[in-house]
């Protein structure tokens, strides 16, 4: 291959067209939420889950995108309301928006990726004009049952224009754990531009790449997390689409996330924390390729240690069960090659996942009630982001001699 050919095939940043250098390769991976029926084994879609960083704008991004039509289908099983922690969080967000931004009865809030309506039901109950947009019909149905109004659709320029024509412009557009999922992010920003009132705000929450790096949360990388946001890269991204990043708040959700507040330029004061966080990121090398190469080496170590531990426990006749059929567990099991021989089943409270097999690794998902019937010797905590809640709920497991296995930032038994 000559250098011109190489240049034409090198990965290019989805945002600024700069060169993207690969740094982490998690191998062949399935659609992380495609829990399959036993009769559907053999029909799964796989892709290479690899991450690179743009040399120009520092956006960390996947090199191959799984089509969203494979990920967010009518039977998408993720439900935000499966944890008390998230329930409390979204009630707080709703209260904050209601008290600060949505004070006039005419104000409209639009939520992108509202899922089962955890946030919108609180606003709906308070009489706030709202609409959620989510393509996952099953989740949207659950939202509607809770009194939230939902449009089963992808948010893009087309749906945003239709919502504006029907209801007028939005004072607030909110989104949690969705914006980073969408490789074609220009559609989102064109939609926001169409729909947002001139004095409105676009608020979105997503996992923070600095937390992922600091705690080696490698399983936060899966198909849906197409971008791993940093303040520097988001600041540049929103500016490219004609907006301004005016505020950033660190929140403890999913092991560490940021809440970004975006407005039209000059409309809202820019808080000094934006520049401070960008400086902190520079100090910690969050925009540097080398940082991610070291992260990749740490992932290799965690994978080897986890497989060694699970193999030893199996050979010693110990029973290990997975706890929480998270999207994260798809990355861990498929990257490490962990199947039902090492983890015979995963317990999960989500009815939509139970009775299915985990994507790629084909570990059976069983109801939460099975966990105590009888308790295993060890529980591999895939839902580590809900550790406090889970460990408080499962005190009896430990009292009866059970132990938890955690694997980030390193493999250990607690
Ligand atoms: N906001 C919830 C759900 C996050 S899961 C929470 O934080 O818990 C991501 C959600 O985004 C899914 O329900 C998915 O169906 C939805 N989604 C994916 N692409 C979307 C798009 N283009 N427009 C609107 N919703 C989308
Ligand atoms: P979560 O970590 O929120 O999501 P993801 O990695 O997919 O983004 O998913 C938590 C999963 O764990 C969800 O399927 C519900 C399950 N769960 C339990 O089974 N028991 C629990 O006590 C909690 C909090 C979650
Ligand atoms: Zn770039």
Mean pLDDT by 10 residues, the chain (414 residues): 50 97 97 96 95 98 94 94 96 97 97 97 96 97 96 98 98 98 97 98 98 98 98 98 98 98 98 98 98 97 98 98 98 98 98 97 98 97 97 98 98 98
Question: Which ligand is nearest the CA of 13, by number?
Answer: 3
Contact yes or no for 322/340 (Cβ under 8 A): no
Q: How far is the CA of 104 from the centre of ligand 2 (A)?
A: 36
Predicted pLDDT of residue 6 = 43
**CATH architecture designation of domain 291-413:** 3-Layer(aba) Sandwich (3.40)
Query: What integer pLDDT is reported at residue 401 of this predicted model?
Result: 98
> What is the CA(81)–ligand 2 centre distance, in A?
9
| pLDDT for 3 | 43
Query: How far is the centre of ligand 2, averaged over its atoms, from the C-alpha of 383 (Å)?
Result: 5
Q: Note the pLDDT of residue 10.
A: 82
Residues of the chain with CATH 3.40.50.720: 291-413
Q: Which ligand is nearest to the CA of 14?
A: 3
| Beta strands in 271-362, from DSSP E residues, in sequence order | 320-323, 346-348
Predicted confidence at residue 236, as pLDDT, reads 98
Q: Is 189 in the pocket of ligand 1 (CB under 6 A)?
A: no
pLDDT of residue 337: 98
CA 116 / ligand 1 centre spacing (Å): 10
| Atom nearest to 385 CA in ligand 2 | 2
Tokens of 15: 């945002």
Q: How high is the pLDDT of residue 53?
A: 98
**Three-class SS of residue 383?**
coil
Phi and psi angles of residue 117, each rounded to the nearest 5 degrees, phi first: 85, 20
CATH topology of domain 80-286: Rossmann fold (3.40.50)
Q: Which residue CA neighbors atom 4 of ligand 1 most closely?
A: 177
Kindly report, as residue ranges, where domains of CATH 3.40.50.150 are found in the chain: 80-286
- Give whole-number Cα distances, 56 to 15, 18, 61, in Å: 10, 6, 13
167 Ramachandran zone, left/alpha/beta (phi>0; psi -120 to 50): alpha
For position 4, what pLDDT does the model report?
Answer: 44
Residue of 75, 119, 134 to mutate, ligand 1, most atoms within 8 A of C-beta: 134
What is the whole-number distance in angstroms between the Cα of residue 70 and the centre of ligand 1?
13
| This prediction's pTM | 0.96
**159 alpha carbon, closest ligand:** 1
């Amino acid at each position: 291959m000559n250098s011109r050919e190489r240049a034409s095939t090198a990965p290019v940043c989805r945002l600024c067209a700069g060169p993207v250098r690969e740094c982490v390769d998690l191998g062949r991976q399935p659609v992380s939420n495609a829990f399959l029926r036993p009769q559907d084994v053999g029909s799964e879609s796989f892709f290479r889950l690899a991450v690179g960083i743009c040399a120009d704008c520092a956006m960390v991004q996947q090199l191959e995108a799984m089509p969203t039509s494979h990920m967010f289908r009518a039977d998408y099983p993720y439900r935000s309301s499966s944890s008390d922690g998230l329930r409390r969080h979204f009630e707080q967000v709703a209260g904050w928006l209601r008290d600060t931004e949505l004070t006039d009865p005419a104000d409209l809030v639009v939520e992108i990726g509202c899922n089962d309506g955890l946030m919108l039901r609180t606003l709906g109950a308070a009489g706030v004009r709202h609409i959620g947009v989510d393509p996952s019909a099953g989740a949207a149905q659950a939202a509607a049952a809770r009194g939230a109004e939902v449009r089963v659709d992808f948010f893009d320029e087309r749906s945003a224009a239709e919502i504006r024509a029907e209801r007028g412009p939005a004072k607030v557009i909110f989104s949690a754990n969705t914006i980073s999922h969408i490789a074609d992010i220009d559609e989102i920003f064109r939609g926001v531009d169409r729909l947002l009132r001139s004095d409105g705000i676009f608020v979105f929450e997503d996992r923070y790449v600095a937390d992922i790096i600091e705690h080696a949360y490698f399983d936060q990388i899966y198909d849906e997390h197409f971008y791993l946001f940093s303040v520097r890269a988001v600041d540049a991204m929103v500016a490219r689409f004609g907006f301004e990043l005016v505020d950033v708040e660190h929140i403890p959700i999913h092991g560490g996330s940021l809440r970004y507040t975006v407005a039209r330029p000059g409309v809202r004061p820019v808080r000094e924390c934006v520049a401070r966080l960008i400086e902190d990121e520079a100090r910690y090398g969050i925009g540097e390729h080398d940082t991610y190469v070291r992260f990749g080496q740490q992932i290799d170590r965690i994978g080897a240690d986890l497989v060694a531990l699970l193999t030893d426990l199996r050979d010693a006749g110990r029973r290990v069960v997975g706890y929480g059929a998270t999207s994260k567990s798809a990355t861990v099991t498929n990257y490490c090659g962990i199947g039902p021989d090492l983890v015979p089943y995963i317990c999960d409270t989500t009815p939509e996942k139970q009775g299915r097999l985990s994507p790629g690794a084909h570990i059976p998902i069983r109801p939460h009630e099975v966990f105590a019937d009888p308790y295993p010797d060890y529980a591999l905590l895939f839902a580590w982001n809900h550790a406090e809640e889970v460990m408080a709920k499962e005190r009896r497991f430990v009292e009866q001699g059970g132990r938890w296995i955690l694997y980030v930032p390193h493999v250990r038994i607690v």
